[in-house]
Structure 1
């Protein structure tokens, strides 16, 4: 029984939403970021980069306070407006290749604590605490956690019927995506959404494990400071984007390693032969085609690596993940990489950037060897979460990626 509720979102005025919304901060090159900040006074990037107008890099508590100040300025100037009524928000982004649609809502922290909202990745305590400090200082969250649930045809039809109406927002962005958003404020429709999720037994975090963990820390922190705590305060919930499984896309993260741990190419290939049947594919781009089949790029040539399954032990859902297979057979025993979270010898590139990115990174000398994998399935992700296991870092690149600045959730 998942508990979700509508909330009074803070969002851009209709005439400015296309100017306000942005990709994530990390998605811009320095040149792109500078151009956005120089020539667009409405971009959300001004809020999360508040020191730009002073030509200073600001960090820590001072930056968090200035983020809050800039956010308040956007509200004072009516760039941001708050809805009068608690609302659910149906948000859709689409392009020639894909369509993502789901509901933005407030999700219960208690469901996260009880494990009804399931996770498949580990989190770093340092990052949890940092983001909790950020949330508490700024007073708002602009990045919903991406949650997924099992498709339901009747509920999908309900959403499609809402989408036949005129959206509140409809705008295109320079990445050729169309964005549309509908408000759900009608009591009957609101109740239908609440009732549907009341019958959902499991929600899965697709993206946003640190955001979820930080929201849980924030709830505990603010509850301890509130002698009149009721459980219905805004801090007991966090903003989520809930989409059906059919609207989730999972791409792979490929692995790159800077050296062969003191081995020559010939010695390395001999070591690989223990667990893999190896075929040299030459200089042409080569991708793996199935589970437990990998590509490798080394010294200007691609190789296929087929796992010798009779020598590898499959004992749980984690052991069957290809990224875990690579870790157990190559990265740790041969290349000496034990801690995937804290080792600067390993790098990652998601395959939205194409297999060519492996070749380029090796050819330019940034890395010595690269490994390509096939993407995991939604079933594998759920199996890991159901077993309360944790995937290796950078196992999946999940879409959709929401634009920042569309809707803010205040505590």
Structure 2
């Protein structure tokens, strides 16, 4: 059973929402964030979720000064009225429209305990450095600055409630710089709040689509807060705000999971001809006619750009275990049958000869990298355009308590940070 909890969100006044909200902390690096700050202004939420933007570039992004500045900035946002707490605990409906794609979710507090017990399922391995970073910032700020992106198998009951809510005019609506439209409704009526809680009781589990580090850090902060409370002599009931974390829950049939593509620095000493011969051992290889669509059209099929020429490669039957939820994924098939044995890519998380490119950039970006390198990027020999992993495949891996290969999924659109922030102190009332 999935449990969701309303809370008193910290939100920008509607007229400030567009200027204040910012991309998630992990989709841009520190240099890109500083560049955005040149035009973003002092109310940009980047100052809260990437506070290194307020410090000299030579200061390490994990320095204690960064977390202290993040806490100061959050306090300033509250003091200046750039973030205002709602008067009563609410759920929030959050809709995103990117082109023709629309997804609508519920913003809620979800139990830290559910993460520990596996009610909230994960499919990715976290990196200690990134996990430590979000743990320190969350603990210092005493708030969830960014939501975790969760999904669940579609519930008609939840869909009906959300559909009814979104027939009203949103409290916040704006178009971000990337063209995505964001809309937010607050659900205040106790009857509606109770209906949402009851509806999710019929949902057995949720899955982390994006936000594994935020989830892990929320669990760690919860443990830290429990120890601090016990040391003070407080009675811990499990209903404290720190025993929950901020999430947006979307139905699985609404999600857009794009491909995560790969480029490799060299051919491991092979000539182009020898490399193509090695590829043909485990893949059917065909030349893509000039002017044809290069993106793969089905599962087990990949598009390969070699020195600017495109090929379609398709995994041969018998070269992978079809029933294995991980080894049957296209990204794992490519690694097991080509990247590792032919191109000598070792640890796919650490090998500097491989680079991952989000599907939002398209096949043109892959061709550019292979054919028109720029000095700061260096040259790349071959690129692979993947067929997107499906949400069902993600859930299948998580249900089997296994982990996806690195850089397997790219969910779009990305959640904006700053539209709803969740405090870990007594702002939240027990329900």
Give the TM-score taking structure 2 as reference length.
0.90
Match of 1:244 in 2: 251
Q: 1:157 aligns with which of 153, 160, 164?
A: 160
Is contact 1:141–1:409 with CA below 8 Å preserved after alignment? yes
Match of 2:202 in 1: 199
Q: Secondary structure at the match of 1:226?
A: helix
Quote the Cα distance in structure 2 between the aligned partners of 1:291 and 1:38.
42
More deviation, 19-28/145-154? 19-28
Superimposed CA distance per residue, residues 151-205 of structure 1 (whole angstroms, 9 cap, x where no aligned partner):
2223212211111223221223333333221111211111111111122111111
Q: How does 1:255-334 map to 2 (within 5 A)?
A: 255-281=262-288, 284=291, 286-334=294-342
Match of 2:386 in 1: 373
Quote the Cα distance in structure 1 between the aligned partners of 2:389 and 2:54.
43
Q: Secondary structure at the match of 1:274?
A: helix
Q: Secondary structure at the match of 1:294?
A: strand
Match of 2:227 in 1: 224
TM-superposed CA distance for 1:77, in Å, is 0.9
Quote the Cα distance in structure 1 between the aligned partners of 2:350 and 2:67.
26
Superimposed CA distance per residue, residues 49-93 of structure 1 (whole angstroms, 9 cap, x where no aligned partner):
546556555431111011110110111111111112111001112
Match of 1:340 in 2: 348
TM-superposed CA distance for 1:399, in Å, is 2.3
Q: Secondary structure at the match of 1:176?
A: coil
More deviation, 149-158/85-94? 149-158
The answer on 1:44 being equivalent to 2:45 is yes
Pairs aligned (count): 411
CA distance change for structure 1 residues 57 and 235 in 2, over 3 Å: closer, same or farther?
Answer: farther
Is contact 1:275–1:329 with CA below 8 Å preserved after alignment? yes
Q: 2:132 aligns with which of 129, 133, 137?
A: 129
CA distance change for structure 1 residues 52 and 319 in 2, over 3 Å: closer, same or farther?
Answer: closer
Q: Secondary structure at the match of 1:394?
A: coil
Q: How does 1:45-194 map to 2 (within 5 A)?
A: 45-50=46-51, 52=53, 57-58=58-59, 59=61, 60-194=63-197
Quote the Cα distance in structure 1 between the aligned partners of 2:319 and 2:419.
51
Is contact 1:142–1:406 with CA below 8 Å preserved after alignment? no
Quote the Cα distance in structure 1 between the aligned partners of 2:294 and 2:257.
20
Unaligned runs of 5+ in 1: none
CA distance change for structure 1 residues 198 and 65 in 2, over 3 Å: closer, same or farther?
Answer: same
TM-superposed CA distance for 1:304, in Å, is 1.4
Quote the Cα distance in structure 2 between the aligned partners of 1:283 and 1:146.
39
Q: Secondary structure at the match of 2:14?
A: coil
Quote the Cα distance in structure 2 between the aligned partners of 1:108 and 1:29.
31
TM-superposed CA distance for 1:29, in Å, is 9.8
More deviation, 388-397/32-41? 32-41
TM-superposed CA distance for 1:111, in Å, is 0.9
Is contact 2:30–2:50 with CA below 8 Å preserved after alignment? no
CA distance change for structure 1 residues 36 and 7 in 2, over 3 Å: closer, same or farther?
Answer: same
Quote the Cα distance in structure 2 between the aligned partners of 1:396 and 1:381.
8
CA distance change for structure 1 residues 311 and 100 in 2, over 3 Å: closer, same or farther?
Answer: closer
The answer on 1:357 being equivalent to 2:365 is yes
Is contact 1:51–1:57 with CA below 8 Å preserved after alignment? no
Quote the Cα distance in structure 2 between the aligned partners of 1:346 and 1:268.
17
